[in-house]
Amino acid sequence: MAHLFRELSLGHSKRGAHSTTGSAPALTIPTKPTTMATDLPSPLGQLSAQLTDSELRLTAYEIFVAACRTSTGKALTFVSSSLSDSPTQQHTNGAASSPNGSPALQRSLTSAAASKMKKALGLKSPGSSSGSKKSPGSGSGSGPGKPKRAMTVGELMRIQMGISEAMDSRVRRALLRISAGQVGRRIESVVVPLELLQQLKSSDFTDPQEHEEWQKRTLKILEAGLLLHPFVPLDKSNSAAQRLRQIIHGALDRPFETGRNNESMQVLRSAVTALASRSSDGLYDTSHWADGLPLNLRIYEMLLQAVFDNHDETSVIEEVDELMEHIKKTWSILGLNQMLHNLCFTWVLFNRFVATGQVELDLLYAADTQLAEVAKDAKATKDPEYCKILSSTLTSILGWAEKRLLAYHDTFDSSNIDTMQAIVSLGVVAAKILVEDISNEYRRRRKNEVDMMEKADSSRRASRNQPNPLPVLAILAKDVGELAVKEKQLFSPILKIWHPFAAGVAVATLHACYANEIKQFISGIAELTPDAVQVLRAADKLEKDLVLIAVEDSVDSDDGGKAIIREMPPYEAEAAIANLVKVWIKTRVDRLKEWVDRNLQQEEWNPPASEDGYAPSAVEVLRIFDETLVAFFQLPIPMHPALLPDLMAGLDRCLQYYVTKTKSGCGSRNTFVPTMPALTRCTMESKFQGFGKKKEKTPTSQKRNSQVATVNGDNSFGIPQLLCRINTLQRIRSELEVLEKRIVTHLRNSESAHVEDFSNGLGKKFELSPAACVEVITQLCEAVAYKMVFHDLSHVLWDGLYVGEPSSSRIEPFLDELEKNLLIVSNTVHERVRTRIITDIMRASFDGFLLVLLAGGPSRVFSRKDSQIIEDDFKSLKDLFWANGDGLPSELIDKFTTTVRGVLPLFRTDTESLIERFRRVTLESYGSSARSRLPLPPTSGQWNPTEPNTLLRVLCNRNDEAASKFLKKTYNLPKKL
């Protein structure tokens, strides 16, 4: 509400009575509502004198009678029924018709005259169907058959003010004596209390104590008017003031003689006259004994209260016009004018509304209408004394309105919404006057209140640092949301009278209030907890609801509501949730990576540990993955689809790490393939039996890659363990597909999932780990194949095949061992990997077969007739993998035999043709520079019948004199390494 008033920019309008334009000011809203008082302290000023309301009321009546008895006017006839049975009215006629009565007060009132003032103020007439209270003319004392009689203005005023008939008679007689002794003297030049004090003796009272009390009250009035609240400030050394003070204080202790010739009375008169005749303008035709602030205003307040019906304190009497005309006659004595009257009457109407339980809206509407006149007066004068009273009065009105409006959701509902409209109207006008016409005073007051509000807010923040504050903010968000809905539906239509976008301003205020809480909360949370998510989600929902109301309310504005939205900086609740979830994801992923490291160090890759042939660590990895995904989708967050890619990426990297670690230390093709031996000529000894029997280690076997020894010495890198690793990765690869399908199911059950979340599959798939599985499985299959052929079976391949006489060292031993290993592989490895790994073993076997033929060193020598043995052995090797159709497809086998089938014919080709072909391809490779001397071709390892090194190696192992001479002459190759 406070924010709304700060934004008010429309003109003020109330029931067509008046309107003003200009920007509305800011109202100061306290930090918490306070209990409404049944009556409000008067803002017209507090008296230093100890004068009761009844004493002020009697003084006011004396002034009223004194002022009116010197006035003349036409007589009005009035028949009053409302006062006919009043207890104080009995025998009134005698008093009213006393020959001492004044002509002005004796004029009769007529019921035919409708109250123009009540119409102007919007006050209902008697018998209104709108539920207004009864008027004096319809009081309980009237009715059919009861006599009606005429009543004078003076009689009406006496009864309204509750003055007894006896006191009224005394005052009238005294004033008659005064006027007889001071013919032609204007009443404003007379010190009424002084004259009454001298005229009324103890004999005029039936009770001496009553006279004493009356005398003391009169002296206190003189003290208040001349000493405590003088019109012109007193000098401390003023002798008249000192004398008067002594007399009054002495008289308050003992009775004071008031006879005309009494010396004390003469001293009193002298002092009073001297003080009352002081004037700031140098004119002495007015006696300034009751026109000092705030005494005169409090006296006038008592007079204005007489317009309210004694039978119904919420109603203004029908005779208010005539009565107000006579009340204004006191201005000359009290030093008042129309502006002060307007201000005082506004306060009296407003205070009566508050004091009577705030039930009669007509009084509030009347105060609102009267306040429009005050607004005009405030623009017309800058008198400092008037502005001071104006500020005090408006501050009191505005403070009361603010307290009501601070808690307007609790104070008002559909049953009393009209009251809210009236209070807002009154508050707006009061605030506008304060800001526009007496802004310095208002701003000073506002600064003090802002300081107070900041202290209160600090205390509130301190109280919030209590245990378990989290759920409170969620409840608060819900309450604020309900408050906003109520605001939109019930109050905003009323407030739109003063602001075109009342709902938008209201929700912007609510948004800002909750922002103070949620921003501090967000800055203080470090981890994802159910309470934290509950608060953040509640804040996010609240913000969306508030923004929607603001947009709907501002749709007709020039900017479409952008200005209001700019005043509602986002809470960033969703971003806070997302950040917390990302922290949660990182924590889970980091823990999982630590677990992978720890378990891989302990993993033995022992197939018997799992009947499915994969490692226990993989089972745990997959279980933790699944639990992590389930935990993620159980998080009470609204953005699972948006944050899923972050989780998937983290798990993907973690699994990729596991996969990569799985192949660590397992070697590769180059790890197990022997280093290519140096070129030598074959030895020509009979049947090469020396090499066959001694089985000397060749340089090649001694120069294995250093990693072979490491691999061979660790049981975790044997063929069964490598196959376990392959199975493990294949299991992971398969389970990832299952996990991805399960993620889609989770997404479908997610509260915030949309169709596009399912059409776009990027966030639901593992990108790195599946490819890593394929890559590592490929590498491990190749490692298994080459380890099996070149390491595990080296004793039958490299150290046995064709060593010495080819016919006596054929391929059968190798095939037997190979077949045993193939059986192990087929029974161990996963079926989806079986073809791949057997194909790699076949390829390694073919490579090993060629390596024996072309790089077997001097321990192997072949003649042309051995070519058939070689071809038959190779066919047997192929048949092992074909397995009569139960093994690898013949097409696949043929694909990998291309190189061998190209090289084998060289072994049956005659030496001269080989030499000639070698010369030709060498010249083709090296050009004309090779004509004088053939260069030694390097070993590429890529065997080919048209490649010089392949041809040269066939010649080196040819059991032929021509070959030996050619090699000796051309390259001088040794026969031994």
Query: pLDDT tens across 34-65, in order?
Result: 333 456 888 988 888 789 999 999 999 999 99
Residue 711 confidence (pLDDT) above 70: no
pLDDT of residue 284: 65
Most confident of 244-258, 320-334, 528-542: 320-334
Residue 88 confidence (pLDDT) above 60: no
Q: Are 733 and 774 in contact (CB under 8 A)?
A: yes
Q: How many CB atoms lie within 10 A of CB 762?
A: 8
Q: Are 369 and 426 in contact (CB under 8 A)?
A: no
pLDDT of residue 107: 53
Residue 823 confidence (pLDDT) above 70: yes
The DSSP-derived string for 465-480 is -SS--HHHHHHHHHHH
| Residue found under tokens 């807010």 | 457
Residue 692 confidence (pLDDT) above 90: no
Q: Are 13 and 497 in contact (CB under 8 A)?
A: yes
Residue 905 pLDDT grade (very low, low, confident, very high; cuts 50, 70, 90): very high
pLDDT of residue 299: 95
Q: What is the pTM of this model?
A: 0.57
Nearest partner of 269 among 213, 235, 222, judged by Cα: 222
Residue 933 confidence (pLDDT) above 80: no
**Cα dihedral sign for 66, 71, 75, 81?**
negative
Q: Are 266 and 225 in contact (CB under 8 A)?
A: no
CA distance 636 to 468: 19
Q: Are 760 and 646 in contact (CB under 8 A)?
A: no
pLDDT of residue 139: 37
CA distance to 41, 386, 427, 709, per residue, from 354 (Å): 11, 24, 14, 103
Residue 465 pLDDT grade (very low, low, confident, very high; cuts 50, 70, 90): low
Rg, the chain, Cα only: 58
Q: Are 251 and 216 in contact (CB under 8 A)?
A: yes
CA distance 703 to 250: 135
Residue 149 pLDDT grade (very low, low, confident, very high; cuts 50, 70, 90): low
Residue 974 pLDDT grade (very low, low, confident, very high; cuts 50, 70, 90): confident
- Cα of first residue to Cα of last residue in the chain, in angstroms, is 103
Structure tokens at 812: 């059968």
pLDDT of residue 758: 55
CA distance 5 to 424: 9
pLDDT of residue 132: 40
CA distance 192 to 330: 12
pLDDT of residue 103: 53
CA distance to 682, 854, 936, per residue, from 858 (Å): 4, 11, 18
CA distance to 244, 689, 866, per residue, from 268 (Å): 6, 162, 161
Residue 76 confidence (pLDDT) above 50: no
- As a whole number, mean pLDDT of residues 910-924 equals 92
Most confident of 79-88, 475-484, 608-617, 755-764: 475-484
pLDDT of residue 680: 83
Residue 79, SS3 per DSSP: strand
Percentage of the chain beyond pLDDT 70 is 78
Q: Are 228 and 294 in contact (CB under 8 A)?
A: no
User: Which residue type is seen at 918?
Assistant: F
Residue 558 confidence (pLDDT) above 80: no
CA distance 149 to 79: 5
Residue 86 confidence (pLDDT) above 50: no
Residue 775 confidence (pLDDT) above 50: yes
pLDDT of residue 424: 85
Residue 713 confidence (pLDDT) above 70: no
CATH of 778-971, one of 2.60.40, 1.20.272, 1.10.1760, 1.20.58: 1.20.58
Nearest partner of 222 among 298, 289, 300, 293, judged by Cα: 289
